[in-house]
Chains A and B, each alone.
Chain A
Amino acid sequence: MALSLEEVRRIAALARLRLSPEEEETFAVQLSAILGHVEQLRELDVSGVEPMTHALAEGAVPLRPDVLQESLAPRDALANAPAREGTCFKVPRIIE
């Protein structure tokens, strides 16, 4: 399974990553090798097998009661923000 440079760029855009031309080349080779390895899963007949979507048996963990409880104060939640304004996270302009 060989991944083209074009595909590498498409995935990077989906993942909000910017790659240098060298990284694109390297990843195309490395990701192709890894995908080549995972191809072996195709040997298996998985028809009728349920996917393991939860690591714990369903219902093993009860939900907590739906009641109000204290959560992080806005001041603490904002303490690590690279930029803020009042009680908001500040980001670059979205609509020009």
Chain B
Amino acid sequence: MSPAPDDLTALSLREAGSGIAARAVSSRELVEAALARIAARDGKVGAFLAVTAGRARAAAAEADARAARGERRSELDGVPIALKDLFATKGVATTAGSRILEGFLPPYDATVVERLQAAGAVLVGKLNMDEFAMGSSNENSGYRPCANPWDLSRTPGGSSGGSAAAVAARFVHGALGTDTGGSIRLPASFCGVVGVKPTYGRVSRYGVVAFASSLDQVGPLARTVEDAALLLEKIAGHDPRDLTSSPRPVDDYLGRLEEGARGLRIGVPREWFQGGLDAGVEQSVRGALATYERLGAKLVEISLPHSKYGIAAYYLIAPAEASSNLARYDGVRFGLRAEARGLKEMYAETRERGLGAEPKRRIMLGTYALSSGYYDAYYLRAQKVRTLVRRDFDAAFAACDVVAGPVAPSVAFRLGEKTADPLQMYLADVFTITCNLAALPGLSVPCGLERESGMPVGLQLVGRPFDEATLLRAARALEREVGPLPAPALG
């Protein structure tokens, strides 16, 4: 008898892959189970912008044929996954969540897409997101809202909201997102999944729609730390097509996963627990820190004195870079074009119709910060503050191996709660943003459910440059103690 579809979708990525290898389950069964669950449940979640059923079925048939011959591309061969709609997929529409890219068919695959395909992973669809990855709630999607699978009246977080929601809702066994100021870790925390933002330069961004190029980084979202490590191992490593991609060899993330927390020095930044942090979140995070202590880790109080300037520096640097990156959406080479008499009119008309409020707001802010007479006061000063933020971490890592604290000041907030006030929305990233500014690796790992709301809370871990292995090992140690979260009700 074959297993029930909902038992299949509940498998971890590792379990699904092992099942295929052992011929206990087929890629076809896994893909059909995923497609059936998406068809039945995603109407009210809104995690997907497009489901690629035909391609997924064809890829599954190939994976099953390989399995029948005893061939195996990797542990992921035949396992259904999905991608934030920011990754170029050859011949598959890629929108970046924006109407200005509606119908755009990339002529090539992003490097991470090539790598996942080479590993045999089966793409079942493209995931919802804030337009051009600008947002913290997925409410800036140009297409449809996305809800939190734990409570459909709340946001999944953003900007990789669809990625976190799809993994939490058991639509897929893993997904990729991007993180510029918290866009993987925040939704991972809100949806109760594991989300990793690797060190800047660890994962290639070739074929990833650019938002803020000195901050953007690609990373995995999954239901277990091991699954996130598996995905990261597949996508990490040098790519000659991305000039910011580091040639450093990739560590053995899986090999070090079970080393435990004994002897680990965990830095607890004073500034991350001062004001603005909800009591329920603080309680969960403190609980996780106590668990680490019980496991033999040493808690060290540290100070990151420039943390409070993170949002301000970020909202000059990121919009400045975005205003330049988004200049390419002008109706000339791809995407939407509005017909107009002259060239300048065509640019303005196209951008007016194709871009939503948040990209426009950030383009305005960035253009202002870079404009004549303001550059030194805003952009240059923000880059100097960025140096100070990085120095804070460098000093802290003399005394500790990882930094731990909350991912967000609250659990997932309600849909519509912050949409009227952009600054309030920006402040949701207050704890995640310094990690991007300092170009460090960070992750979110579930540390329990908040007592009052029953919503998941994530613990944030930030590490030394290129030390993802220690972060994952520390996250795994906590995961073993916390145990798996219950499945969200999707109600």
Contact = CB atoms under 8 A, between A and B. Distances in A.
Interface of A: 3, 7-8, 11-12, 14-19, 23, 27, 30-31, 33-35, 37-42, 44, 46, 49-56, 60-64, 72, 76-77, 79-83, 89, 91-94, 96
B104 A50 contact: no
Given A46-B384, A61-B245, 15 more contacts: A11-B367, A14-B371, A17-B360, A34-B315, A34-B422, A37-B312, A39-B312, A41-B312, A41-B316, A49-B387, A51-B380, A51-B387, A60-B201, A82-B335, A91-B332
16 contacts: A14-B371, A16-B330, A16-B344, A16-B348, A18-B351, A18-B352, A37-B315, A38-B313, A46-B381, A51-B387, A52-B384, A55-B439, A77-B107, A80-B335, A91-B346, A93-B343
A68 B217 CA distance: 28
Interface in B272-309: 306, 308-309
Given A16-B347, A41-B313, A31 B387 contact: no
Contact of A56 (B246, B385, B422): B246
Contact of A80 (B334, B381, B422): B334
Nearest to A63: B243
Nearest to A80: B334
A18 B118 CA distance: 44
Given A34-B423, A41-B385, A56 B439 contact: yes
B197 interface: no
B415 to A, nearest CB: 20
B53 interface: no
Contact of A18 (B312, B348, B422): B348
- Sorted nearest first, the 5 A-B pairs with minimum C-beta distance are A51-B383, A82-B337, A80-B334, A76-B107, A18-B348
B25 interface: no
Nearest to A7: B368
A92 B346 CA distance: 8
A80 B371 CA distance: 32
Nearest to B90: A76
Contact of A50 (B200, B345, B355, B387): B387
Given A38-B312, A51-B383, A72-B108, A56 B201 contact: yes
B74 interface: no
A3 B386 CA distance: 25
Contact of B246 (A15, A60, A94): A60
B23 interface: no
A61 to B, nearest CB: 6
A35 B368 CA distance: 10
A22 to B, nearest CB: 11
B484 interface: no
B462 to A, nearest CB: 15
Interface SS majority for chain A: loop
Interface in B157-213: 200-201
Contact of A52 (B311, B331, B387): B387
A89 B344 contact: no
A23 B359 CA distance: 13
Contact of A38 (B341, B346, B378): B378
Contacts of B426: 34
B382 interface: yes
Interface size class of chain B, counting residues whose CB lies under 8 Å from the partner chain:
35 or more
A45 B331 CA distance: 43
Nearest to A20: B352
B351 A40 contact: no
Contacts of B367: 11, 14-15
Nearest to A53: B383
A52 to B, nearest CB: 4
Contacts of A60: 201, 246-247
B393 to A, nearest CB: 12
Contacts of B331: 82
Given A49-B388, A83-B337, A41 B371 contact: no
Contacts of B337: 82-83
Contacts of B246: 56, 60-61
B343 A89 contact: no
A46 B313 CA distance: 13
B55 interface: no
B361 A27 contact: yes
Given A55-B201, A61-B244, A81-B333, A17 B105 contact: no
Contacts of B363: 15, 17
A12 B70 CA distance: 60
A82 B381 CA distance: 40
A8 B364 CA distance: 8
B343 A94 contact: yes
A46 B345 CA distance: 42
Nearest to A50: B387
B349 interface: yes
A27 B364 contact: yes
A16 B354 CA distance: 13
Contacts of A17: 348, 351-352, 355, 360, 363-364
B214 interface: yes
A64 B365 CA distance: 35
Given A30-B422, A61-B247, A62-B247, A49 B384 contact: yes
B215 interface: yes
